[in-house]
Each structure stands twice: as structure tokens, then as C-alpha cells.
Chains A and B, each alone.
Chain A
């Protein structure tokens, strides 16, 4: 079975500060890992994904994530938060055995303050 754990259901940062959203995974086979973002009153959209090529993955809107097998982590970062980054962020895992079935974490709501 595969799963992801997102530490912190709510994260608050000041505009311009570093954003760090944590995700740890559990998978019996090499995983594929995703970060999706949900803006208010919208569906989810893909930020970035790890597909076993490069361990440092760059996504849209200045976000990036690093796959660390030794730590079973895939944390999402952005050097400088913007007010428009306020949203809910979901980490998700799949693998070749699940043929594109995603298992989502419980989500982290990011608040950006002035």
C-alpha cells in the first residue's frame, strides 16, 4: 500500500519569506510523487511531479521539490512567498503498480500575510 503524510494542516508565512510544505511518503515500490494546488473555489491543478528522472523538480509559479529517498520525503519549497500563493496544497503518490491511481495526502493550507 502507498500513502503520503503532510505535516502541518495550516502553514502561515509572511510575504517574501520562504515557503516549506512537508510531505513524506510510504511505498513498497519506487514511487511517482506529485504536488497539486487548489485555489479557492477551484479544482486541483498540477504544480510539479517526480517521475524518477531528476531528483530536484521545478514546477510552475517558482515552486520546486526535492525527492529524497533516504528520508522518504518530497518537500515543496518556494524561496519567496507571494500573496497569490495562498491556497491548499496536496501531495500525492502513485506507482507503476497502480497505473495512474493517485493517493492524496490530507492537504496543507498556506496562508500568506503582509
Chain B
């Protein structure tokens, strides 16, 4: 079984709809991250969480919110989706030992906002 899972894998929605993307991990890591990937822009950090009570904004958090329900679960919400939020979204985890951490990525969720 995969260590980092994301649901759904694909989602098509309409402008203005609320969407939740879910991430679960079985690696026992404290740190979790949400990124979006756009062609030609690489990955950009949306939010990150160092433990259940510690949630921080990344470089592009506007229009997004997150919830860390448990050590193993980290959800990303789009309160009112807009077309420029069409992207590939990745969840990642890491051990939290510092700047040399390896991040472990989920398979991604492809979101299309019409």
C-alpha cells in the first residue's frame, strides 16, 4: 500500500464550488505539506503543518484553507473554486529533523475548474 495517498485523484468542478482534497499518510511523519504544480512553474508551497496544532501559510495560500485532523490527515479546501486554481496538487510528508529532510509525495490530484 502507498505511504501517502490522495483522494480524489481527478476532479472536475465548476467555478464557485467548494472543493476538498484529502491526504492521508502511514509513514508516521509529523510534517505535512500541500503544493500545486503548474506547467513551467514547478511546485509551489500552499500550506504546511509541522504538527496537528501548527499550521503555516506557504507562498501561495490565498484562496485556500487547510485542516490537520490528525497526525495522519491533512486536507486542502478551496472555498470558492476559480479557473486559475486548475492545477496538479500534491501532498507530501517529512520526518521533521530539519533542512535535510526528505519529502515523500503522494500521487497527486488533478483538479480542473470550469
Chain A positions near chain B (C-beta within 8 angstroms): 9, 32, 34, 36, 41-46, 49, 51, 90, 94-107
List 11 A–B pairs whose Cβ atoms lie within 8 Å, in order of A's numbering: A43-B108, A44-B103, A45-B104, A46-B102, A46-B103, A51-B100, A96-B98, A100-B98, A100-B103, A101-B45, A106-B40
- Within 8 Å of chain A (Cβ to Cβ): is B48? yes
A88–B106 Cα gap in the complex (Å)?
16
A98 touches B106 (CB 8 A): no
Minimum Cβ distance to chain B for residue A41 (Å): 8
Known: A100-B31, A104-B43, A106-B42. A43 touches B102 (CB 8 A): no
A45–B108 Cα gap in the complex (Å)?
12
B98 touches A43 (CB 8 A): no
Contact with A along B31-51 (1 / 0, CB 8 A): 100010000111111001010
A49 touches B99 (CB 8 A): no
A105–B106 Cα gap in the complex (Å)?
19
Minimum Cβ distance to chain B for residue A49 (Å): 7
7 further A-B pairs in the complex, CB-CB below 8 A; given A43-B105, A90-B43: A32-B100, A43-B92, A94-B99, A94-B100, A96-B98, A101-B48, A106-B40
